[in-house]
Amino acid sequence: TSSTSLPWDLDGKRVVISAGGTRESLDPVRYLGNRSSGRQGYALARIAAHRGADVTLVAAHTADLVTPAGVRLIKVGTAEELRTVVLAESDGADAVVMAAAVADFRPVNQAEHKIKKTDRDPEPVVLARNPDILAELVESRSAGKLAASLIVGFAAETGDATSSVLDHGRAKLARKGCDMLVVNAVGDGMAFEVEDNSGWLLGDDGTEERIDLGAKSLLASTLWDAVGRRLSDQ
């Protein structure tokens, strides 16, 4: 093979990728959302398909993106819908990559009709916790209810006074219990609604790989390289 062609190392592998930002309804016209464009998840899907994988892409809200060739796309809206589809699709998968920005909270009440403005002050929006899908994937696998060889999380972190982006990433990998975590450095126009990403790829086997600032497709290739290595070691 020529050095410029992509490896065909994911041939016969089944991968499930979540992408985009969930939207949690307040009423029929309003929602709580986030700034995820879905670009990283779509890049992961495109590269995996190019490398021979059977790809299911579960997409919440995204920018206007082209569905990569050969990829099975399932569209969802809320975190609860994403959860249902991801859990169903992940059983028997070789890799599940949670690149979606899942809303941590949803409004407790979804008004059936559009909320109208009155002379009074508005009611506060009361929020409830959403299920943590990544944590649930890990728990289901531990309980023997789900077969998934590799479970990969994504985290967008900013450093703060006490911890660096890398420290937050290490802590999140341990907390989530997944096999790998991609840590994106965010803030100051980094990662959201832009073409480039940088950060770290952390493995529960102690591996830590720096991902230099580059295209989201490059980060995707780096992740699939690592996934391919881990799958062939298993």
List binding-site positions for CTP: 104, 114, 131-134, 154, 172, 176
Q: Are 68 and 47 contacting, i.e. CB atoms less than 8 angstroms apart?
A: no
Closest by Cα among 42, 70, 68, 52 to 5: 52
Q: What angle do CA 44, 140, 184 make, to 5 degrees?
A: 35
Determine which residue in the list 71, 134, 146, 191 makes contact with ligand CTP, applying CB under 6 A: 134
* Residue 71 sits in the site that holds ligand CTP (CB under 6 A): no
Query: How many whole angstroms separate alpha carbon 202 and alpha carbon 168?
Result: 11
Query: How many whole angstroms separate alpha carbon 154 and alpha carbon 179?
Result: 11
Classify residue 3 by burial, with Cβ atoms within 10 Å: 0-12, 13-18, 19+. Answer: exposed
Query: How many whole angstroms separate alpha carbon 90 and alpha carbon 189?
Result: 33
* Residue 154 sits in the site that holds ligand CTP (CB under 6 A): yes
* Residue 155 sits in the site that holds ligand CTP (CB under 6 A): yes
Can 197 be counted among the known catalytic residues?
A: no
From 34, 130, 184, 197, the catalytic residue: 34
Cβ distance to ligand CTP smaller for residue 10 or 98 = 98
* Residue 104 sits in the site that holds Ca ion (CB under 5 A): yes
Please, what is the minimum distance in Å from the beta carbon of residue 208 to ligand CTP? 17
* Residue 79 sits in the site that holds ligand CTP (CB under 6 A): yes
Beta strand ranges found along 76-179 (DSSP E) = 93-98, 105-107, 127-129, 148-157
Kindly state the helix (H) or strand (E) to which residue 185 belongs, with its residue range: strand 180-185
Cβ distance to ligand CTP smaller for residue 113 or 222 = 222
DSSP-based helix, strand, coil % in the chain, nearest 5: 25, 30, 40
The one segment of 44-52, 96-104, 214-222, 226-234 that binds ligand CTP by CB under 6 A: 96-104
Cβ distance to Ca ion smaller for residue 10 or 103 = 103
Amino acid at 203: G
The one segment of 31-39, 99-107, 119-127, 221-229 that binds Ca ion by CB under 5 A: 99-107
Query: How many whole angstroms separate alpha carbon 184 and alpha carbon 151?
Result: 17
Determine which residue in the list 20, 153, 169, 203 makes contact with ligand CTP, applying CB under 6 A: 153
The one segment of 61-69, 94-102, 143-151, 218-226 that binds ligand CTP by CB under 6 A: 94-102
Contacts with ligand CTP by CB under 6 A lie at 79, 98, 100, 102, 104, 130, 132-134, 153-155
* Residues with a known catalytic role: 34
Contact set with Ca ion (CB under 5 A): 104
